[in-house]
């Protein structure tokens, strides 16, 4: 299956640590990502990059996220996922009412944000095809996995773990990286990863050869060859 050009995502977030983490997570998931610390040049950025989706913080220096959302809706068909530290229902309803496609409250888990971005792109018809690893097909859009002729029944956590490996196909990822992406912390409870990987591997191997490999001293890698 040939991959089309990856969806373009523009991240507007003034907190550098969050901006860098979001940009990295989206890039690792296969998106083409640009980022800015504010909306000072939003109009020009929309013309230059023609993003498929904008990840937009609400509390920004200068024009806030709601004002920038109105600019986007006047000039672009891009999807919009808003980020905010405000968890009040009124703020969320305001953002959605003014045209945002989804609303993520800080603090958030990066894997969840990637899933939300993917879901919005799916609704706008701009997602990439499923990830294929040998006979294993991971349907990112549909939220399911199929190995050969059989559907693989997974819990929600097992799916998140598999999705993270799919987003990093052919790359070794550590237990800490998986913990941070799926559970939101990486300094404790590595056995969570071990238990879920063991169960996930057993379910996959019930339908075909091993594709989720352990790399001693480093972590795990999802690939079709040993």
Return d(Cα 223, Cα 165) in angstroms, integer: 9
In a domain, 111, yes or no: yes
Looking at the structure, do residues 46 and 151 belong to the same domain, yes or no? no
Cβ contact 45:10 at 8 Å: yes
Given 123, 148, 164, the domain boundary residue is: 123
Q: What share of the chain is helix, strand, coil (3-state, %, to 5)?
A: 40, 20, 40
Percent of all residues in the chain with a pLDDT value above 90, rounded to a whole number:
51
Residues 136 and 78 in one domain: no
Angle, to 10 degrees, between the axis of helix 156-167 and the axis of helix 110-123?
A: 80
Angle between helices 65-75 and 89-97 (to 10 degrees): 20
For residues 116 and 42, state if they share a domain. yes
Say what the pTM is: 0.60
Sign of CA dihedral 54, 58, 62, 67: positive
State both tokens at 204: 């996959």
Tokens encoding 79: 């999807």
Asked if residue 212 is part of any domain, the answer here is yes
One domain, residues 59 and 158: no
Q: Give me the CATH number covering residue 105.
A: 3.40.50.2300
pLDDT digits (tens, 9 = 90+) for 2-19: 345 688 999 999 999 999
Q: Looking at the structure, do residues 62 and 139 belong to the same domain, yes or no?
A: no
Q: Which of 93-107, 177-191, 212-226 has the lowest mean pLDDT?
A: 177-191
Give mean pLDDT, residues 99-121: 90
Regarding whether 142 and 117 lie in a shared domain, the answer is no
Domain span at 185: 131-222
Range in 54-58, 182-186, 203-207, 216-220 with the lowest mean pLDDT: 182-186
Task: For residue range 123-178, list pLDDT tens digits in order.
Answer: 876 665 568 888 898 887 667 898 988 899 999 899 989 988 988 888 999 999 89
Mark whether 205 and 174 lie in a shared domain. yes
Q: Are residues 116 and 82 in the same domain?
A: yes
Is residue 206 in a domain? yes
């Amino acid at each position: 299956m040939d991959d089309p050009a990856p969806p373009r995502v523009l991240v507007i977030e003034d907190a550098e640590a969050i901006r860098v983490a979001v940009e990295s997570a989206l890039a690792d998931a296969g998106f083409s990502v640009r980022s800015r610390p504010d909306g000072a040049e939003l109009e020009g950025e929309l013309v230059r990059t023609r993003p498929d989706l904008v990840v937009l913080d609400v509390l920004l220096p200068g024009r806030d996220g709601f004002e920038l959302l109105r600019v986007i809706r006047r000039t672009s068909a891009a999807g919009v996922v808003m980020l905010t530290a405000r968890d009040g229902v009124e703020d969320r309803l305001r953002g959605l009412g003014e045209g945002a496609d989804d609303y993520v409250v800080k603090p958030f888990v990066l894997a969840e944000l990637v899933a939300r971005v993917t879901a919005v792109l799916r609704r706008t018809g701009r997602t990439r095809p499923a990830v294929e690893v040998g006979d294993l097909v991971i349907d990112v859009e549909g939220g399911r996995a199929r190995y050969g002729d059989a559907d693989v029944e997974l819990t929600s956590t097992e799916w998140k773990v598999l999705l993270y490996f799919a987003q990093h196909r052919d790359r070794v990822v550590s237990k800490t990286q998986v913990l941070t992406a799926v559970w939101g912390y990486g300094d404790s409870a590595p056995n969570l990863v071990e238990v879920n990987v063991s169960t996930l591997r057993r379910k996959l191997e019930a339908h075909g050869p091993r594709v989720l490999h352990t790399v001693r001293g480093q972590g795990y890698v999802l690939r079709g060859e040993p």
